[in-house]
Structure 1
Amino acid sequence: MSARRPLRDQLRLPLTSDVVGAASVFVRSASNASAMDALSTWPDAAGRVMALCGPAGCGKSHLAALWAERVGAVPLNGAEAALTDPLELEGRPVLLDIARDADDETLFHLINLAQHDGGALLMVSRPSPRQWAVRVPDLRSRLDAVRVVAMEAPDDAVMSAILAARFAERSIIPADGVIDFLVLRIARSAEAAAAIVARLDDEHRPVTRALARQVLDASAELFDGGDEGLQP
Structure 2
Amino acid sequence: MPDTPRQLTLDLPVDPRFGPEDFLVGPSNEEAYARIEAWPDWPDRVLVLTGPAGSGKSHLAAIWAAQAGAPTVAAAEVAAAAVPRLAEAAALVIEDADRPAGRDEAALFHLLNLARERGTSLVITGAGPVEGWGIATPDLRSRLRLAPTVGIDPPDEALLRAVLVKLFVDRQLVVDTSVVDALALRIDRSLGRARDVVAALDREGLARSRRITRPLALATLAALDEPRGEEP
User: Is the structural similarity TM-score above 0.5?
Assistant: yes
The CA distance in 1 between the partners of 2:159 and 2:18, in whole Å, is 12
2:214 to 181, 206, 209: 209
Q: 1:190: Cα distance to partner?
A: 2.3
Q: 1:131: Cα distance to partner?
A: 3.1
CA 114–43 in structure 1, closer or farther in 2 if over 3 Å, else same: farther
1:176 aligns with 2:177: yes
Q: Is 1:49–1:147's contact at 8 Å kept on the other side of the alignment? A: yes
CA 206–46 in structure 1, closer or farther in 2 if over 3 Å, else same: same
Q: 1:134: Cα distance to partner?
A: 2.9
Unaligned runs of 5+ in 1: 1-17, 224-232
Q: Is 2:183–2:217's contact at 8 Å kept on the other side of the alignment? A: yes
Q: Is 2:50–2:128's contact at 8 Å kept on the other side of the alignment? A: yes
The 5-angstrom pairing of residues 17-166 of structure 1 reads 20=16, 22=18, 24-82=21-79, 84-90=82-88, 92-101=90-99, 102-166=103-167
Is the partner of 1:50 in helix, strand or coil? strand
Q: 1:88: Cα distance to partner?
A: 4.3
Q: Residue by residue, what CA displacement relative to the aligned partner does 1:121-156 show, whole Å, maximum 9, x if unpaired?
A: 111000222333333332232122111101100122
CA 126–88 in structure 1, closer or farther in 2 if over 3 Å, else same: closer
Q: 1:71: Cα distance to partner?
A: 0.6
Q: Residue by residue, what CA displacement relative to the aligned partner does 1:79-103 show, whole Å, maximum 9, x if unpaired?
A: 0122634234235111001112332
**Structure with the larger RCO, 1 or 2 (CA within 8 Å, 6+ apart):** 2
Q: Which amino acid aligns with 1:220?
A: D
The CA distance in 2 between the partners of 1:175 and 1:54, in whole Å, is 31
How many residues end up aligned between the 2 structures?
Answer: 206
Q: 1:19: Cα distance to partner?
A: 7.5
The CA distance in 2 between the partners of 1:206 and 1:168, in whole Å, is 14
Unaligned runs of 5+ in 2: 1-13
Q: Is 1:73–1:95's contact at 8 Å kept on the other side of the alignment? A: yes
Identity %: 38
Q: Which structure is larger by alpha-carbon Rg, 1 or 2? A: 2
Q: CA RMSD in A?
A: 2.4
CA 88–22 in structure 1, closer or farther in 2 if over 3 Å, else same: closer
CA 63–88 in structure 1, closer or farther in 2 if over 3 Å, else same: closer
The CA distance in 2 between the partners of 1:167 and 1:194, in whole Å, is 9
